[in-house]
Homo-oligomer: A and B are copies of this chain.
Amino acid sequence: MPGSRRNDRPDSAPAVQEAFALTDDLLHSLRRALDDNSAARIEALLDGLHSADVADLIHQIGRERRKRLVENLKSHLDPEILSELDDGVRQAVVKQLGPAHIAAALAGLDTDDATEVLETLDQATQASVLTALDEDERTPIEEALAYPEDSAGRLMQRDLVAIPDFWTIGQTIDFLREATDLPDEFYEIIVVDPSHHPIGTLPLYRAMRMKRPIVIGDIMDADPHLIPVLMDQEEVAYVFEQYNVPSAAVIDNTGRLLGVIMVDDVVDIILEEAEEDIMRLGGISESNLYDSVFETTRQRFPWLLVNLATAVMASGVIAFFEATIEQIVALAVLMPIVASMGGNAGTQTLTITVRALATRDLTRANALRLLNKEFAVSIANGFIFAVITGVVAWVWFGSQDLGIVIFAAMVINIIVAGVAGMLIPLGLNRIGIDPALAATVFVTTITDVLGFSAFLGLAAWFLL
């Protein structure tokens, strides 16, 4: 599969090759340079690459070459690379470089990025890196780490531009020209009252068009979108998605300005949250493409174990009807169809419900209406597929009664699947459990157990 052959897919691949720095050619050249241990060639290949691209290369070259690459980067490591790495790989890189080196690198990062690097390290490494930092760099990071994981406090940066509303454009421009501790990037200026509560924002594109005597309070956007410092990152992402803001001020519980969250950090969160839902729906609690075989096996184990337990439970239902199956073997042939169709119908409703909860399209106010709709859809699809399956069974085994039994079992299972596919995630969400994490196993257990017992139970009753 590897090779430098050009991609011949009919889609936009050629354009992509131009637009992205990372090509297969680059990767292969880097591998060769690492195998030859040629420091000059390695440096030439990485020269001018964006830190995110270097991080991707570090991910993609495999464990041994990665060590060699990090060794080569050691003396001139771009600190941004650290913040772009996946957790597992970052742990390994930090271990390799040692606390002193990492502390020096963290000093070159914004507080939020430094915090992101540190929060994924184990306690001991975290402590030794913190000790190696200067006090004025350590304090803001320790303050950020004191906020709960996944809260706005962890995401925000302390560096920001805040001015009073009575300033003029002229004063603002002079301040910006002279200030030495401005953030690396900012898209708007936060306007604060005398007690440092944000009362508005001034987008730079507006500030730039105004003449010097104009007063900030007259041209700012009042009523800014404010983020409480303890807000969960999922809610933060929602504010940015919903209101299309490029940045937002973070406040403490008295309304005082603490920091600012930028849209590029939120883009990462949006990806992370969607990713988490996808993985959890797919039966993976944590995903890390670059983790070791041992670690990956360990991560996938719990879900498979739960699935084994529920599969054994479903088998218990079948065992209960052993005598019936002994008399009509056709039941063993047909029973997986009932369970499988219920499982699929349930998964469809479940997927919709989990996402609608995540995107806040499903609220307590419209839950009943959407439940009615799912119920109606389940009845429709239940009847359609029950008829098809009933006819298939009738023709296949030449028994009209068998057709009727599987028809009835399918209707019951698909309707219950639809209702359970919605009620279970709603219920889990209500009691504070992530519906994506647990709903799949509940729903498929119900459709398996109910599918087998409805089909075999009805068969035992009518056919014997």
A→B interface (CB under 8 Å): 1-3, 7, 9-12, 15-16, 18-20, 22, 24, 27-28, 50, 52-53, 56, 59-62, 173, 176-177, 182, 185-187, 203-205, 207-211, 225-228, 230-232, 235, 238-246, 263-264, 266-268, 270-271, 274-275, 277-279, 281-284, 287, 289, 293-294, 296-297, 300-301, 303-305, 307-308, 311-312, 314-315, 318-319, 322, 325-326, 329-330, 332-337, 339-341, 344-345, 347-348, 350-352, 355-356, 359-370, 373, 376-377, 380-381, 384-385, 388-389, 392, 426, 430-432, 448, 452
Contacts and interface: CB of A to CB of B under 8 A. Distances in A.
15 contacts: A11-B432, A12-B230, A16-B231, A19-B239, A20-B239, A59-B361, A246-B263, A263-B267, A279-B351, A284-B351, A293-B377, A296-B377, A304-B341, A307-B344, A332-B335
The 7 tightest CB contacts between A and B, nearest first, are A282-B351, A274-B274, A332-B332, A244-B264, A204-B204, A311-B337, A293-B376
Contacts of A330: 322
A278 B381 contact: no
Given A289-B370, A380-B297, A267 B267 contact: yes
A392 B316 CA distance: 12
A281 B283 contact: no
Main secondary structure of the interface of A (DSSP, over half): helix
B339 A336 contact: yes
A322 B330 CA distance: 8
A283 B352 contact: no
Given A209-B176, A325-B332, A326-B326, A19 B432 contact: no
